[in-house]
């Protein structure tokens, strides 16, 4: 009898020991799996859109990375701790995608460091137009080149800051291609005539700060920023450089010079002649912004030949100097081809103008004109944005110039040159905005406006930077099939938040399990208690009838 009781006691102790060891083992296994999951980026993508999974298109766009010459790695640096990144969904998707790229490509190295506690880590990246680097910034570098992009820019948002799609794949692919490109095409800022310009060699200039968002946009489009003096090139009898795919004349304050009336004036390298040759002979692209307060007779005469007649009146809406550009909805119009899919959104963000005048087409009744002395060449004027019909335009003396009429505030002239031998068209573009603030940080850098995205799409269209425009992963590439990126399946809108705010983006994946994932998780969750209950019943029955 004593022996039987002793055996029962030993059995109870053994069962208790096995139970304790099992619980400890499960706890350690959980810690191990958690560590391995974080260390080797092991996870289950529960989103029906596959937000955490690299698409085949993304892999195809990035497969060039391991074939890059030399031994330099593409480094992706997140400016916050891994735990902080993963706790905020604004950055979690970006961080997981970078880890996936790191795992797939030997030449990509992803890291995360807290730049608040270790600011010297990113000090070498501050010699730019940026005055500070934030925890939500992502730095992609290759050799001595780098790009800085904010995590919020990986989302497509409406005017209230609510996101409806994730365009991280396009952003990452665009930045990776840009930072690793062998020979970047150039965007040249004109530096004379009192123009506002960005100088990459003088990072502390005030104007650099004001144009920082626009220059970031150009970099994202794969363009390297340079400066050019048209007067110097004209004096040296030189043409605009061949690598110039985009020329920018931003808010000129003094006039250009034109060619004389002599028979050989075509060969005089005046500034207007230089521009004309660039557009006609080199099939270039020119962007011009001009204030209605500045009158430039020679330059404006040149622009009239390209379809633009600038008013001296300022356009006002009821609220003041801010004017909302009206989206074009006609599918046959040039503007719709730039931003049509974007404008079709039920809550599309606004495109904003400040301190703007207006433009009229100088081609009379029509919007196109043949180019005299050429074969099958036409110049075609098209508005990019018009106002609503309730605005008023006031001349400098306060008199009313226009009222209750939609006015063009930004437009594009496309020169179509039909090659008589190949029957293919060659294009030149001249874009004009009747506002000196068109490229300002206040507008381009405001994430709640559509200015950055639409101007990016316009630059893509006219700059002929085809290597980057051909990416078909969505995002701000409005020419792509998957415009906007991966659209959220339930169409619910969430607010992108920064670490500095108390608002958090709702945990999207917790609310949108796909059916197969939901079933899998249900089975797994139910299996644990059922298994434990079964083992408990088995032990109790065995002990009772032993």
Q: What pairs with residue 111 in β-bridges?
A: 77
What average pLDDT score do residues 247-258 get?
Answer: 93
Give dist(CA 449, CA 217) in Å, integer: 14
pLDDT at 123: 79
Give dist(CA 375, CA 101) in Å, integer: 51
Alpha helix (H) ranges present in 115-221? Answer: 168-180, 206-210, 212-220
pLDDT at 436: 94
Ramachandran category for residue 364: left, alpha or beta (phi over 0 → left; psi -120 to 50 → alpha): left
User: Residue with structure tokens 């030997």?
Assistant: 106
Average pLDDT, the chain: 78
CB 428 within 8 A of CB 240: no
pLDDT at 327: 92
Farthest-apart Cα atoms in the chain, separation: 130
What tokens does 106 get?
A: 């030997």
* Contacting residues for 127 by C-beta, under 8 A, at least 6 apart: 203
CB 384 within 8 A of CB 194: no
pLDDT at 15: 62
User: Which stretch of 68-77, 111-120, 523-532 has the lowest confidence by average pLDDT?
Assistant: 523-532
What tokens does 505 get?
A: 């983006």
Q: Within 10 Å of residue 162's Cβ, how many Cβ atoms?
A: 16
Q: Within 10 Å of residue 485's Cβ, how many Cβ atoms?
A: 26
Share of residues in the chain with pLDDT > 90 (%): 34
pLDDT at 374: 73
- Please state the separation of Cα 422 from the chain's center in Å: 35
pLDDT at 406: 93
What is the 3-state secondary structure of 401-464?
A: EEECCCCEEEEEEEEEEECCCCCCEEEEEEEEECECCCCCHHHHCCCCCCHHHHHHHHHHHHCC
pLDDT at 171: 81
Instruction: Indicate if the pLDDT at residue 484 is higher than 80.
Output: no
Per-residue pLDDT of 288-325, as tens digits, reads 999 999 999 999 999 999 999 999 999 998 868 899 99
Give dist(CA 415, CA 284) in Å, integer: 10
Give dist(CA 326, CA 335) in Å, integer: 11
Q: Output 50 or 342, whichever has higher pLDDT.
A: 342
Q: H/E element holding 287?
A: strand 285-289
pLDDT at 194: 95
Instruction: Indicate if the pLDDT at residue 417 is higher than 80.
Output: yes
pLDDT at 457: 84
Q: What is the dihedral of CA 194, 199, 202, 205, to 10 degrees?
A: 50
Per-residue pLDDT of 3-20, as tens digits, reads 555 555 566 666 666 766
User: Residue with structure tokens 């096995």?
Assistant: 18
pLDDT at 533: 60
What tokens does 244 get?
A: 């110039």
CB 112 within 8 A of CB 135: no
pLDDT at 479: 36
User: Which stretch of 81-95, 246-260, 344-358, 467-481 has the lowest confidence by average pLDDT?
Assistant: 467-481
3-state secondary structure of 188: strand
Q: Please state the φ and ψ torsions of residue 152, each to the nearest 5 degrees.
A: -65, -25
Give dist(CA 272, CA 125) in Å, integer: 38
Domains of the chain: 186-464 (3.40.50)
Instruction: Indicate if the pLDDT at residue 182 is higher than 60.
Output: yes
User: Which stretch of 216-230, 247-261, 432-446 has the lowest confidence by average pLDDT?
Assistant: 247-261
Q: Output 527 or 100, whichever has higher pLDDT.
A: 100
pLDDT at 146: 79
User: Which stretch of 97-106, 113-122, 142-151 has the lowest confidence by average pLDDT?
Assistant: 142-151
pLDDT at 80: 92
pLDDT grade for 29, boundaries at 50, 70 and 90: confident
What tokens does 3 get?
A: 């022996």
Instruction: Indicate if the pLDDT at residue 150 is higher than 90.
Output: no
pLDDT at 512: 40
Which long-range contacts does 256-265 make (Cβ < 8 Å, 24+ apart)? 256/193, 256/230, 256/296, 256/298, 256/299, 256/302, 257/298, 258/298, 258/301, 258/302
Q: Output 277 or 520, whichever has higher pLDDT.
A: 277
408-418 and 377-386 beta bridge pairing: antiparallel
Share of residues in the chain with pLDDT > 70 (%): 71
User: Which stretch of 124-138, 178-192, 328-342 has the lowest confidence by average pLDDT?
Assistant: 124-138
User: Residue with structure tokens 């959980």?
Assistant: 30
Q: Output 230 or 499, whichever has higher pLDDT.
A: 230
pLDDT at 442: 93
CA distances from 139 to 170, 384, 469 (A): 16, 33, 22
pLDDT at 490: 45
What tokens does 357 get?
A: 């005048």
pLDDT at 285: 94
What average pLDDT score do residues 25-38 get?
Answer: 67
Alpha helix (H) ranges present in 321-410? Answer: 334-343
pLDDT at 535: 63
Radius of gyration of the chain (CA): 30
CA distances from 104 to 58, 173, 184 (A): 12, 14, 26
Q: Within 10 Å of residue 420's Cβ, how many Cβ atoms?
A: 8
Residues in the chain: 546
* Contacting residues for 287 by C-beta, under 8 A, at least 6 apart: 246, 247, 248, 249, 250, 431, 432, 462
What average pLDDT score do residues 391-414 get?
Answer: 91
CB 82 within 8 A of CB 95: yes
């Amino acid at each position: 009898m004593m022996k039987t009781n002793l055996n029962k006691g030993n059995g109870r102790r053994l069962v208790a020991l096995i139970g304790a060891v099992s619980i400890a083992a499960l706890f350690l296994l959980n810690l191990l799996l958690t560590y391995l999951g974080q260390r080797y980026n092991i996870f289950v993508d529960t989103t029906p859109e596959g937000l955490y999974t690299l698409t085949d298109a993304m892999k195809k766009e990035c497969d060039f990375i391991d074939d890059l010459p030399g031994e330099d790695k593409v480094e992706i640096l997140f400016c916050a701790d891994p735990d902080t990144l993963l706790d905020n969904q604004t950055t979690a998707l970006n961080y997981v995608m970078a880890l996936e790229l790191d795992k797939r490509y030997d030449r990509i190295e992803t890291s995360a460091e807290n730049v608040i506690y270790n600011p010297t880590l990113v000090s070498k990246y501050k010699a730019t137009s940026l005055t500070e680097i934030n925890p939500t910034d992502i730095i992609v570098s290759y050799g001595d080149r780098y790009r800085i992009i904010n995590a919020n820019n990986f989302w497509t948002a409406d005017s209230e800051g609510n996101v409806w799609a994730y365009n991280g794949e396009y952003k990452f692919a665009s930045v990776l291609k840009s930072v690793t490109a062998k020979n970047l095409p150039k965007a040249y800022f004109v530096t004379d005539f009192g123009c506002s310009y960005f100088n990459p060699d003088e990072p502390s200039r005030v104007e650099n700060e004001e144009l920082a968002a626009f220059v970031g946009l150009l970099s994202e489009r794969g363009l390297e920023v340079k400066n050019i003096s048209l007067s110097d090139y004209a004096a040296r009898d030189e043409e605009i450089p061949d690598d110039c795919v985009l020329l920018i004349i931003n808010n000129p304050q003094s006039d250009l010079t034109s060619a004389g009336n002599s028979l050989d004036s075509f060969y005089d390298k005046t500034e207007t002649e230089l521009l004309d040759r660039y557009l006609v002979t080199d099939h270039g692209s020119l962007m011009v912004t001009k204030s209605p307060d500045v009158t430039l007779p020679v330059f404006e005469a040149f622009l009239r030949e390209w379809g633009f007649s600038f008013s001296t009146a300022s356009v006002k809406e009821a609220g003041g100097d801010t004017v909302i550009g009206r989206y074009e909805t006609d599918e046959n119009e040039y503007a719709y081809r730039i931003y049509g899919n974007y404008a079709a959104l039920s809550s599309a963000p606004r495109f904003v103008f400040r301190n703007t005048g207006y433009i009229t087409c100088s081609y009379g009744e029509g919007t196109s004109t043949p180019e005299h002395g050429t074969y099958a060449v036409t110049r075609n004027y098209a508005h990019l944005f018009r106002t609503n019909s309730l605005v008023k335009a006031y001349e400098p003396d306060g008199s009313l110039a226009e009222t209750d009429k939609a006015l063009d505030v930004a437009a594009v002239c496309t020169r179509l040159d039909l090659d008589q031998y190949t029957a293919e068209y060659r294009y030149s573009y001249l874009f004009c905005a009747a506002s000196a603030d068109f490229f300002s940080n206040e507008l381009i850098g405001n994430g709640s406006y559509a200015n950055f995205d639409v101007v990016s799409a316009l630059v893509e269209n006219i700059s002929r930077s085809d290597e980057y425009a051909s990416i078909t992963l969505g995002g701000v590439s409005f020419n792509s099939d998957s415009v906007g990126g991966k659209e959220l399946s339930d169409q619910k809108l969430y607010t992108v938040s920064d670490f500095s705010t108390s608002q958090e983006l709702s945990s999207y994946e917790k609310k949108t399990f796909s059916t197969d994932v939901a079933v899998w998780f249900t089975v797994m969750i139910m299996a644990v208690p059922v298994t434990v209950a079964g083992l408990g019943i088995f032990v109790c029955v065995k002990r009772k009838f032993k």
